Chain A
Amino acid sequence: MEPIPSQCDVVVIGGGPAGSVAATLLAQKGRTVTLLEKQQHPRYMVGESLIPDFWKYTDLIGASRKIEAEGFIAKAGGLINWNNQPRAHNFKDFGYTRPALHVERDRFDYILLNHARSEGVQVFEEVTVTGVNTQRDADGHISVAYRANANKSSGSIACRYVVDASGQSSVVGRQLGLREIDENFRFMSVWGYFENSRYFGYDGQAYTADRLADVQPTTYVTSIEDTDDAGWCWHIMLRASASVGLVLPLHRMKEAKGENEDWEAFFLRKIGATPILSDLLRDAAYIPGSLHMTRDYSYRLQRIAGPGYFLVGDAGGFVDPIFSVGCVMSFYAAYAGAWAVDRCLSQPEAEEAVQALFARQVEGRLEIARSLALPRYRAEGQASDLARSALQLQRSQVQELMQVVSTLTTRSENFDAMLTEAGGPGGAAVKYKRFERLNVN
């Protein structure tokens, strides 16, 4: 293996989707890019549902064919059962021509990281970033300190910019003390995997797993009763299993769990007590040891760009994942970040303006996501202006899709007002399908 270089234009921290896309775009612009990833890919990751917007990013970096060749599951749409009002929507109704996918993220992320490599990014795995020195030296360099896990050797790279795509580790954000947990939306998630689960098609009918080849699945979301709009579950069919997760406010999760109950038992009990979802899992087998959890979100960063650094993907903020926009938000920030780094490298004197431009656009998108996904969340002051401005820059059909999505749960009540202020489509669009009830035979 080649040695880690001591100097380059840009260091990207993290080889998830945001890091791979940002690094690839910068390499394609002719910049020298070193990407440091602390794990060895393929590695496990959650967040398996992708809305079809992601294709335009994989088109841009030239990775779409590789993703198509993998044969991930195309989904038919979303089926949201909120307070016993099941409704389904699909993306075709809003001008999308390519499918939303359910992906095993170890594979999806691996494809993108390998693509980065093939486009000239120097990728080093099992290398942990231990700190970033954003003080510029006389030559205008900042530095990134790392430790190689294999031989415990350490070193540092002098570079002009750092793109932090380290996910929830949020390396730069934590180091600079920029990360803030949103106390009003302090959620926790527990999830696991099941073999042989049934799933819902877009017709609202349940199918057995062996029908996946001929009936596309929906992403199924259900609210959890008596949690004041905060609790919900996901059910996502993958090729060999179903990903099933539970999201609750941290305090409710702790209240609900028995004192001597382990997390696995708690998870299975809670899922088993969720109507309809438990029917889908009636003949399914939980895969032992497949339990995962994450706590303490949502969070935001006080700022997402500063002298020498840009924060993209989950390193720049995390919102409740209910509408499957995580990867696409990450790609957007990665694209904007790569654009901004490239502009700054060409015109160092414009750094401040470019960073402010990046931050306004990306923050605006994050605010839209918060308004849609967090119960009774209201963007205020500048955040509200940025969100409105970002909404106005979306094509009409995407605004319409967001409006429909906002009516599917009771979490987005402030979104409609924002959309109206932004001059978006008036009146309630009814491009969704309503079901009286869902039955699992």
Chain B
Amino acid sequence: MRAGEPSDDPDLIARLRRGDSRAFEELVRAHQHRLFGVALRMLGNPAEAEEITQEAFLRAHGALGEFRGDARLATWLYAIVSRLCLTRLASGERRAGLQGEEGLLRLHHPGRGPDRVAEQSELEWALHRAIAELPEERRIVVVLRDLEGLSYEDIAGALGLELGTVRSRLHRARMDLKDKLERFL
């Protein structure tokens, strides 16, 4: 988890388990950008990312009774949205429209076209493109680890993978990115 992010509030968890709608709204408000970020990195389409993120929160709302508190709420939510993204990518039911890094850049810099964005932040553009070009199973690992800050163990739990598989995929992803970003290093 990224530094400075607060730990779960026990009172919030208790209220969530009681079905408190205000508590759930707090949860959505606190984690919306995290989940949307993962979905957008994985899907590249803002509308599709919003749809998946909303579905992730709905699934969480329906399964709050199953949340035992063994993991952090954020980790649990990452697991839901990650699996939804991978399922969507595997299904082939993809939306036509804004794809890849173009969608990411417009969200980062609303009102600016890709050219304008690229001029101001060529590195950022290259990073987005390099991440988007990673194979899905490596991309989700590097997104969760290097962009969202999850531990190896949390990633393994979220994706249902062995720890060694997480390490291996992460290493391959980073090596791919290093090669793609060679001119910035």
Tell me whether A and B are bound partners.
no
Residues of chain A touching chain B, judged by Cβ–Cβ distance below 8 Å, are none
